[in-house]
Amino acid sequence: MKRLVSVLKADGVDHSLITIIRTILAASKELSFRIGQGELSGVLGSTLDENIQGEQQKKLDVVANQLIKELLMDEADVKSLASEEEEFVVPVNGQGKYVIAFDPLDGSSNTDINGQIGTIFTIFPAISDLAANDWRQFSRKGSEQICAGYILYGSATMLVLTTGNGTRGYTLDLTHGGYLLTHPELTIPAQTNEFSINMANQPYWLEQTKLYIDNVHASENSYSMRWNAAMVGDVHRILLRGGIFLYPQDKRAQYPQGKLRLLYEAFPMAMLVEQAGGKAIDGNKTILEQRLSVLHQRIPVILGSASEVDVFKCSKSHRKYYTFYN
Ligand code: F6P
């Protein structure tokens, strides 16, 4: 089975970028070990602090953020960092070639129940004439990403990565501590009968979401529903067997622009999904064509099987669904 580095070399990935990816993965291996220890690791549970997003912060979030940040700050080729757990951009080295954004622990409310959690990251080329502490290093379009990936800490620890040559899956081999290529070419089937949405938000949905779900219920395809409460787990399932994931805009006052973050959730997941033949939109427009306008910007996210995402996009009437498929 091929090792990560030989796959990246064969894909023509720059040596300095390989080094950055390996540094992120060094942190992921320590996290995987700590998470695997569960209650024994002494890092689960809540601190009394709140993170800058106003959500309750878990100890493991702090550990994950610190670990990834400290390892990347030692890398000469890193210019700036952005993290869900940092209010501002973290400057690293003014001469660095790359800027990196990450969600250190996605789905952290799953930590206490031994559920799926993950680390999501994205890498852009640095902008040479902007300072390392200038947030505009990250004011980019999703299409400018040169690498995107996540590490899923599930029953196995898996890395799913793209550098623009398709989306590949690797599994952490605990016997030697390396990631081995187990899914050389992840491809999302165009059609699906599996959808993923938090149905508890139904009272707040906008018309497009209501119509789409009404059509799903009326369909003869006998849909089934899955919801992990961790985007990383839902996207992983979709990359492996298809489906549609929806965190749409709704009427709740605290999330006027959707809940998920554009920079370190929507952008990397959209690149991974599109590189696997799927689609990712904010309801109407392609996510990768959006430009970040505020560091911790939120965005509605609908992604997965291409035809199903088109069905959502066209959900303007109850008849549209049938017209689309027939
Ligand atoms: O953004 C964090 C996150 O945990 C995602 O991973 C997940 O998809 C979503 O929030 C779950 O939100 P909710 O608790 O509203 O279902």
pLDDT attached to residue 112: 86
| Residue nearest to ligand 1 atom 4, measured at CA | 107
* pLDDT score of 99 more than 50: yes
Strand order in the sheet with 168-173: 90-91, 78-83, 98-106, 117-125, 147-153, 157-162, 168-173, 178-183
DSSP element (H, E) containing 171: strand 168-173
Q: Ligand 1, closest atom to CA 201?
A: 15
Predicted confidence band of residue 322 (pLDDT cuts 50, 70, 90): very low
Q: Ligand 1, closest atom to CA 198?
A: 16
CA–centroid distance, 106 to ligand 1, in Å, is 8
Q: Which two tokens stand for residue 218?
A: 């009326």
Nearest to 153 by CA among 38, 10, 22: 38
DSSP-assigned states of every residue in 214-238? HHHHH-TT--EE---SSHHHHHHHH
CA–centroid distance, 94 to ligand 1, in Å, is 34
Please check whether residue 168 is in contact with residue 272, taking contact to mean a CB–CB distance below 8 angstroms: no
Instruction: Spell out the residues 6+ positions from residue 203 whose beta carbon is closer than 8 angstroms to its own.
Output: none
| Residue nearest to ligand 1 atom 2, measured at CA | 107
* pLDDT score of 87 more than 70: yes
* Residue where the block lists tokens 């990631």: 179
Give burial (CB, 10 Å; 0-12/13-18/19+) of 317: exposed
* pLDDT score of 185 more than 70: yes
Whole-prediction pTM: 0.94
Please check whether residue 249 is in contact with residue 277, taking contact to mean a CB–CB distance below 8 angstroms: no
pLDDT digits (tens, 9 = 90+) for 221-263: 899 999 999 999 999 999 999 999 999 999 999 999 999 999 9
Domains (range + CATH), the chain: 4-183 (3.30.540.10), 194-325 (3.40.190.80)
* pLDDT score of 195 more than 50: yes
pLDDT attached to residue 59: 81
Residue 171 backbone dihedrals phi, psi, to 5 degrees: -115, 135
Q: Is the CB of 35 under 6 A from ligand 1?
A: no
* pLDDT score of 28 more than 70: yes
